[in-house]
Amino acid sequence: MSTTAAIAGVGGAAGWIKHPAVRRLGWAIGGLSIIFLLWGIGGYYIANNPSTQSFASFGLVPTLEAIPLLWAEGKIQSAILASSSRLGGGLLIAIAIGLPVGILMGRSKRFRDLSNSPFQLLRMISPLSWTPLAVFVFATWDGSIVFLIAVASVWPVMFSTAAGLAKVDPAWFKVARNLGAKRLHMLTRIIMPAITFDVLSGIRLALGVAWIVLVPAEYLGVTSGLGYAIQDARQTLSYNHLTAMVVTIGVIGYFLDTTLVMLIKRFSWHRGGN
Amino acid sequence: MSIRGTEIRIEGLSQRYPSRKEVTFNRVDLTSPPGEALAIIGRSGCGKSTLLHILAGLTRGTEGRVLLNGVEVTGPSPRWVMMFQAPHLFPWMTVSQNVGVGLSFGRWSKKEIEERVTEAIRLVELQDFAGSNVQDLSGGQQQRVALARSLVMEPELLLLDEPFSALDAFTRASLQKDVRSIAKRLGFNIVIVTHDIDEAVIMADRAVIMAGSPGSIVHELDVDLADPRDRQDPAVQALRARLMSTFQEAAYSKGGALATEAVQ
């Protein structure tokens, strides 16, 4: 390699490292490494302390060993599948209710005035406090869990949609009407694109809440899902299985959130931010 | 693109807002032949913008009626399109999508929409920006997109509510000439509401002056000038002076002291 090429190569590598995406990835890996390092150190001390030795499998190494084993047995996949179907069902119900009601709140001042107090009151009730009622009303545990997730996640979707609509320039409706838009056009061509950013932001918040509610909800009578797997591992004292499931929850939650952030960026028409 | 104009007939039109006791304007009668460019000049609050909204079918008059080619206006229609002070473009769309949005509300094929959008964008000379997001354009370019969005509907009547007031002087002058030239070439009517005497002289075939409270049409003047119109042309300046003095006389006689800042 000539000297010039070598210098160019060094400059190219330096430029690549300075790329914002690479830098972001570097910071993310750095942050995660700190967590794993702290976990590894904690696990080491637990394993080497006679009074805590029986909890040694909570540590990083036993957990990392358990993940491929659980994966090979198909336990992680089946838990993900069961939890995802409940999460998806609950979120879909939340969107199906929250989106149209949010649009109604944004479009109709009367409805907004009428619904604001009762909705704010209901929103402040902890979703899990509906558990006895859910168990009483729904014939299956699955139904109860889906209900709890829907109750938890409907509010962010609804209020974000309403807030998004409140920000829509009223002149857009006038212009569209002037150009011959009918009600359906207003909804599909003006309202929905205008508020997609807010709706997706609401769904992102809803997903976070739903994910938090999902695990304790699965401590109920079900025999599948991530929450059940954690409960089962605790009862069989398989702490490395428990932490493996906790890691799985974190990874999937992170993946879902990242996907929504990408969708928000994709559909955002706002200049200078997401 | 060829558009036929429309005969505008306003008969005994009055407007009173339910929330206010006073009448905004009272018994306005006005006619305009097909293809005419009509300017309505008046001080703020005389009801000229409200009159334009009624012409567009966006508001209903309290009394009287508006007929376009003998058919009463009862609501908005792509046949009479309004351009507002601000372009109010849809920021999630490109220039082409904004221009074609009105056509997409109707029963047009994709090919027809594409052809008409291309033609309208060519008319306003924005071919190089067809695929750009409208947020990337300057204020003048955005107002051109709004003009193309109106023209693509091939309206019989283009209603302009001080559409260039937010633009800089150079862009404003250029757009005033362009709109008049396109309207004359294609043959549709223009009704422009303005408090800018220059704008009326450059763009209109006839100017009517609204004054008083409640507002009414107190005077009208033919703007009989050859095209293209140049602000420095002595004939244009003479007519401007005449229109200004008529405007001031009318305003004094109907509405008391004239706020000079209302006239540019």
Interface test with B, best of A168, A172, A178 (most B CBs within 10 A): A178
List CB contacts (< 8 A) between B92 and chain A. Answer: 193-194, 196, 269
The 10 Å Cβ neighbour count of residue B227 is 10
Provide the CATH topology of domain A63-267: MetI-like fold (1.10.3720)
- How far is B39 from B37, CA to CA, in rounded Å? 7
Q: What is the pLDDT of residue B16?
A: 83
Strands laid side by side in the B23-32 sheet: B23-32, B8-16, B63-68, B71-72
Q: What is the pLDDT of residue B261?
A: 36
Identity of the highest mean pLDDT range in A16-25, A96-105, B22-31, B196-205: A96-105
Q: What is the pLDDT of residues A31-79, one digit of tens each?
A: 999 999 999 999 899 888 888 888 888 888 889 999 999 999 999 999 9
CATH class of the domain at B8-79+157-262: alpha beta
3-state secondary structure of B36: coil
Q: Distance from A186 to chain B by nearest Cα, in Å? A: 10
Is B22 within 8 Å of B213 (Cβ atoms)?
yes
Is B135 within 8 Å of B170 (Cβ atoms)?
no
- How far is B27 from B9, CA to CA, in rounded Å? 13
Among A211-225, B139-153, B243-257, whose mean pLDDT is lowest?
Answer: B243-257
Name the band, by pLDDT with cuts 50, 70 and 90, for residue B252.
low
Contact A174 B149 (CB under 8 A): no
Which of A171, A178, A181 comes nearest B81 by C-beta? A178
Q: Report whether the peptide linkage leading into residue B214 is cis, meaning its omega lies within 30 degrees of zero.
A: yes
* Closest-approach residue (CA) in chain B for A194: B92
Q: What is the pLDDT of residue B186?
A: 85
The angle that helices A109-123 and A75-107 make with each other, rounded to 10 degrees, is 140
List CB contacts (< 8 A) between B93 and chain A. Answer: 193
**Once rounded to an integer, what is the mean pLDDT over residues A114-123?**
93
Cβ neighbours of residue B61 closer than 8 Å, sequence gap 6 or more: B13, B14, B15, B54
- How far is B136 from B128, CA to CA, in rounded Å? 12
Q: What is the pLDDT of residue B92?
A: 93
Contact B77 A171 (CB under 8 A): no
B149 touches chain A (CB under 8 A): yes
Residue A129 DSSP symbol: G
* DSSP H or E segment with residue B247: helix B234-255
Cβ neighbours of residue B118 closer than 8 Å, sequence gap 6 or more: B130
Q: Distance from A182 to chain B by nearest Cα, in Å? A: 7
- How far is B156 from B231, CA to CA, in rounded Å? 28
Interface test with B, best of A179, A182, A186, A199 (most B CBs within 10 A): A179
Contact B76 A190 (CB under 8 A): no
Q: Distance from A185 to chain B by nearest Cα, in Å? A: 7
**pLDDT averaged over chain B?**
86
Contact A179 B149 (CB under 8 A): yes
The angle that helices B95-104 and B110-123 make with each other, rounded to 10 degrees, is 130
Q: What is the pLDDT of residues B189-208, one digit of tens each?
A: 999 999 888 899 999 999 99
Q: What is the DSSP pairing of strand B157-161 with strand B80-83?
A: parallel
* Closest-approach residue (CA) in chain B for A185: B105
Which of B76, B91, B93 comes nearest A178 by C-beta? B76
Name the band, by pLDDT with cuts 50, 70 and 90, for residue A266.
confident
- Residue A149 backbone zone (phi > 0: left; psi -120 to 50: alpha; other: beta): alpha
List CB contacts (< 8 A) between B88 and chain A. Answer: 169, 171-172, 174-175
User: In the predicted model, is pLDDT for residue A3 greater than 80?
Assistant: no
Residues of A with CB under 8 A from a CB of B: 169, 171-172, 174-182, 185, 189-190, 193-194, 196, 269, 271
Contact B102 A180 (CB under 8 A): yes
Token digits for A41? 């150190």
- How far is B196 from B203, CA to CA, in rounded Å? 11
CA B68, B72, B78, B84 dihedral sign is: positive
**Once rounded to an integer, what is the mean pLDDT over residues B198-226?**
87
Contact A185 B91 (CB under 8 A): no
H helix intervals, chain A: 3-17, 20-48, 60-72, 75-107, 109-123, 131-137, 141-166, 170-178, 183-185, 192-217, 226-235, 239-267
- How far is B52 from B190, CA to CA, in rounded Å? 11
User: In the predicted model, is pLDDT for residue A143 greater than 80?
Assistant: yes
Name the band, by pLDDT with cuts 50, 70 and 90, for residue B259.
very low
Find the farthest-apart pair of alpha carbons in chain A and give their distance in angstroms, rounded: 79
Give pairs for A227-230: CB < 8 Å, separation 24+.
Answer: A227/A83, A228/A79, A228/A82, A229/A75, A229/A79
Provide CATH 3.40.50.300 ranges for chain B.
8-79+157-262
* DSSP H or E segment with residue B200: helix B197-203
Is A202 within 8 Å of A262 (Cβ atoms)?
no
3-state secondary structure of A273: coil
This model of the complex carries an ipTM of: 0.79
**Once rounded to an integer, what is the mean pLDDT over residues B135-160?**
91
The closest alpha carbon to B121, from B85, B94, B139, B158, belongs to: B94
The angle that helices B95-104 and B139-151 make with each other, rounded to 10 degrees, is 30
Q: CA-CA distances (angstroms) from residue B30 to B51, B63, B70? A: 11, 14, 14
